[in-house]
A and B are shown apart, each in its own frame.
Chain A
Amino acid sequence: MDINTIIQILDSAVRLMTPLLLACLAGLYSERSGVFDIGLEGKMLMAAFSAAAVAALTGSVWLGLLAGIAGSLMLSLVHGLASITFRGNQLISGVAINFLASGLTVLLGQKIFALGGRTPSLTGGGRFGAIRLPFAETLEPVPVIGPIYADLISGHSILVYVAFLCVPLTWWLLFRTRFGLRLRAVGENPASVDTAGVSVTRLRYVAIGICGVLCGLAGAYLATGLGAGFVKEMTAGRGFIALAALIFAKWRPWGALFATFLFGLLEAIAGRFPSIDLGIITVPSMFMNALPYILTVIILAGFVGRAIPPRAGGEPYVKER
């Protein structure tokens, strides 16, 4: 395998990890505040659809992005109502949100475009184009560093860079600000936050709001950056892989970067080599596709470093009277 192949695989790994990373960070905010969210998949799907639909109708990818965020936020609000205000079961609410998105996107897509649930293909201003970083052309001839800079680091759409910037930003927000301290506290021990006179309800709504925005970015990237339009069920389980990555990352931002890169890389390798011949055995591509889930189960089992979720996760907070 030569350097160009490696760079190509890494390049597609970066593209494929971007929606995972955004969704994983989205889940991080929500779960750190004590609200389990298995509806990441549904929110991404809704965002992908609304982004592609608005981009197709207006021809502006930026309006599409806003619509994507709005679509995702709407479902976040449903999740908040069910799990924070009415203190319902957060897991059941997540399941419902996934189905709601899966059905609504096709229903609305068929109504608006009559293409069997697809949106028309996006072109030109309806998509996020590649950004050439400065000096990409000048550096290209330089061996090793040149292709790495020109092909791997430069030439992605803006949302890829946004996703990577979100990692240090999340770390700073979570571990270096008062808001972050409160957010983490509300996921571990909401009663203590309440005693300090900070509203648990408000903090959790803010957290799922951030979660909605990030899922919106992830979905919009899928439909307008990675792909060129919306197709039925286009998230294809990415929301669950992001959830797996979150556990893999043990609910930490830098871990999320590593975990989503690993899962993106697995997807890129599986996409490039349908089956891998290791001499003794041939690894089928199905195994590569299932590997993120298998790895997560192993991590969950606690054999390789234990993953401990936020302590108050999944429990609605009932204020003492």
Chain B
Amino acid sequence: MDKMPKWADVILTPLISLVLAFAISALVILAIGESPWEALKTMVTGALGSSYGWGFTLYYTTNFIFTGLAVAVAYHASLFNIGGEGQAGLGGLGVAIMCLFIPWTHWSLALIAASLGAAAFGAAWAFIPAVLQAKRGSHIVITTIMFNFIAAALLNWALVNWLRPVGSMDPASANFPEATHLPKITDMFAALGIEWGTHTPVNVTFFVALLACVAVWALIWRSKLGYEIRALGRSETAARYAGISPVRVTVIAMLISGGLAGMMATNNVMGEAERLVLNNVEGAGFIGIAVALMGRNHPVGVLLAALLFGFLYQGGGELALWTSIPRELIIVIQALVILFTGALDNMVRAPLEAFFVARRKRGDA
């Protein structure tokens, strides 16, 4: 028998954790001498108050959906992939190669190829840690951290020595050709005669991200592979008895995870910057951890959490613009969300469980 009703487990616990995280964030804002209420108002107006704000919020959301899903898929196999940052960076390399070296005639073809390239590079970057975990028992957390740094060095090298146009000092690739530019959502609305979100980076990959949510849901809860991933995550011994190969499932789960993280590059590298720059991921790989934790590793939860972080990210930018609060406030909020929904989960859960058990006892008597 469960100690808590399902709704309390799925909705109430994360909600209380979130409230705690935000309460402490408000205290931090108070401590630096600003008003939390004013800060919240600035953030809401800046991120959600106009179609311009929404355009940026949804752009960030797209990034976080990909990296959040990446962490979530690995988590179902009880693998903690904190290499999303490196995998997404390598995904950018895949996108750049696809866009720069193949002459495309239409953006849709380029997007398909770039998605495959990004996923392949991201997956390849997750492959070695996955194999080392599965075959040699090297802890995946440590190896993926190391691979983040190796990826940064590799990208730096590739940009400086290889992709940088002749004569340019900037460690960045050439601009992608016109045919690979993805349609912005603004353009789609404009085609319908509606003015929405002019000059915002949100583009067609937002819909790809939504599709990815559905695909991950189908994979985890509606496919044999998903069953194997969850079984391995719950108990390796039980999975082994059921004839599931832990090596195979570990590697496949990490490949999917790395591929999803890599696909983020179709949004930021192909859809926004339209060239590959140094440090293009900007921490989105790490935000994926917070997103997955808050979303309880469910695609719907990941989508909602990604939206929340998209809002925080855009709102944080607005804060830095209009108030004297630096945008690093968002990193603090992110840290507190990870802390409360992830590491201090038991602190919230234990009293709640006790409450529900006590109430049930009273009901029985």
What is the interface of chain A, defined by CB distance below 8 A to chain B? Answer: 38, 78, 81-83, 86-93, 95-100, 102-104, 106-108, 110-111, 117, 237, 240, 243-244, 247, 284, 286-287, 289-290, 293-294, 296-297, 300-302, 309
Q: Which residue of B lies closest to A294 (CB)?
A: B150
Report which residue of A103, A240, A247, A284 has the largest number of chain B beta carbons within 10 angstroms of its beta carbon: A103
| B179 CB-CB contact with A under 8 Å | no
Kindly state the separation between the CA atoms of A243 and B146 in the bound complex, as whole angstroms.
10
Kindly state the separation between the CA atoms of A301 and B289 in the bound complex, as whole angstroms.
25
Kindly state the separation between the CA atoms of A268 and B256 in the bound complex, as whole angstroms.
38
| Contact between B142 and A103, CB atoms less than 8 A apart | no
How would residues 136 to 178 of chain B score, 1 for a CB under 8 Å from any chain A CB and 0 otherwise? Answer: 1111011101110110111011001100000000000000000
Q: Other CB < 8 Å A-B pairs besides A86-B346, A244-B142, A290-B152, 4 of them?
A: A81-B344, A110-B32, A290-B153, A297-B146
Of the residues B138, B157, B339, contact of A100 by C-beta under 8 Å: B339
| Contact between A237 and B149, CB atoms less than 8 A apart | yes
Kindly state the separation between the CA atoms of A102 and B324 in the bound complex, as whole angstroms.
18
User: Chain B residues with Cβ under 8 A from A102's Cβ?
Assistant: 328, 331, 335
State how many residues of chain B have any CB contact under 8 Å with chain A: 50
| Contact between B335 and A103, CB atoms less than 8 A apart | yes
What is the interface of chain B, defined by CB distance below 8 A to chain A? Answer: 28, 32-33, 80, 82, 128, 132, 136-139, 141-143, 145-147, 149-150, 152-154, 156-157, 160-161, 286, 289, 293, 324-326, 328-336, 338-339, 342-347, 350
- Known contacts A82-B344, A92-B343, A103-B331; decide if A297 and B132 are in contact (CB<8 Å): yes
| Contact between B136 and A301, CB atoms less than 8 A apart | yes
Nearest 10 CB-CB pairs, A to B? A103-B331, A99-B335, A93-B343, A103-B332, A290-B153, A92-B342, A100-B335, A96-B339, A82-B343, A88-B343
User: Chain B residues with Cβ under 8 A from A92's Cβ?
Assistant: 80, 289, 293, 338, 342-343
Of the residues A78, A83, A88, A297, contact of B143 by C-beta under 8 Å: A297
Q: Which residue of B lies closest to A275 (CB)?
A: B161
User: Chain A residues with Cβ under 8 A from B142's Cβ?
Assistant: 38, 243-244, 247, 296, 300
| Contact between B346 and A88, CB atoms less than 8 A apart | yes
Kindly state the separation between the CA atoms of A296 and B350 in the bound complex, as whole angstroms.
38
Of the residues A93, A104, A110, A287, contact of B153 by C-beta under 8 Å: A287
| Contact between B286 and A99, CB atoms less than 8 A apart | yes
| Contact between A286 and B335, CB atoms less than 8 A apart | no
